[in-house]
Structure 1
Amino acid sequence: MARTKKASEKKSASQKAAARPADGKKLRKKAKRETFSIYIYRVLKQVHPDTGMSSKAMSIMNSFVNDVFERIASEAARLAQYNKRSTISSREIQTSVRLILPGELAKHAVSEGTKAVTKYTSNVAT
């Protein structure tokens, strides 16, 4: 018996045309742009539940997080290279944070990072 397609399974002419261009080559999928937006938003809601954020402000915060991440990663890579190591450990990250962030901010970042690593290792062990 031949199986008939349901109305929801049938593709319209425009969907078929969109699947392949006229020359028959496959279309490339648009690369997803990964951002920290959802995490920034979650932290904002934890700190100030009734406050929102514009898309421009979110873009600036995302750039800031990417910049700090890049600085810490490159400094950690440099430290690993100086010490003839091929792996970046939490120790290199911690030292990088101390070198990059000023004073009290570095202390808070290190304590929060240590807390996060401890929480992760305790959850992995169970």
Structure 2
Amino acid sequence: MPPKISGKAAKKAGKVQKNISKSDKKKKRMSKAMSIMNSFVHDIYKRIAAETSRLAHYNKKLTITSREIQTAVRLLLPGELAKHAVSEGTKAVTKYTSSDDHNNMKGGKRLFSEPENV
């Protein structure tokens, strides 16, 4: 015969179950929100890449530079949002180039050697 559960214990168990189900609902909501944001970022990235490629092609350039990317962002994003995006992008590139990561170092050796002057 299973032990009897007192009224307080049953009440606590009910509250715990209710909190767990609230937590599950919150996790599902957050997961859905993250999925939507991921789709949004992926879509914007694809649009910027396509526009950047078009700009390079129009200008008969084989290399995509930060200039083409900035122009694509300015064309695709409205007003103030474009200004902030370009500003943050420039800041990120500056931070990266001032770090050691941009030297392509691995185990103390460069992965790509500098071209030799002949």
For Structure 1 versus Structure 2, the TM-score category normalised by the shorter chain is 0.5 to 0.7
Among the aligned pairs, what percent are the same residue?
74
1:88 CA displacement: 1.1
SS at match of 1:84: coil
For 1:76, the aligned partner's letter is T
TM-score, length-normalised on structure 2? 0.59
Q: Name the Cα RMSD after superposition.
A: 1.8
Unaligned stretches of 5+ residues in structure 1: 1-51
2:68 aligned counterpart, secondary structure: helix
Q: 1:101 maps to which residue?
A: 77
In the other structure, the counterpart of 2:10 is none
Q: Give TM-score, length-normalised by structure 1.
A: 0.56
Q: For the pair shown, which has the larger CA radius of gyration, 1 or 2?
A: 2
Gaps of 5+ in 2: 1-26, 104-118
- Which position in structure 1 is the counterpart of 2:35? 59
**Pairing 1:1-126 to 2, within 5 Å after superposition:** 54-123=30-99, 124=102
Within 2, Cα distance between the matches of 1:87 and 1:66?
23
More helix by share: 2
Deviation at 1:54, TM superposition (A): 1.2
Report runs of 4+ in structure 1 exceeding 6 Å deviation: none
The count of aligned residue pairs is: 75
Amino acid corresponding to residue 64 of structure 2 in structure 1 = I
**3-state DSSP class of the match of 2:43?**
helix
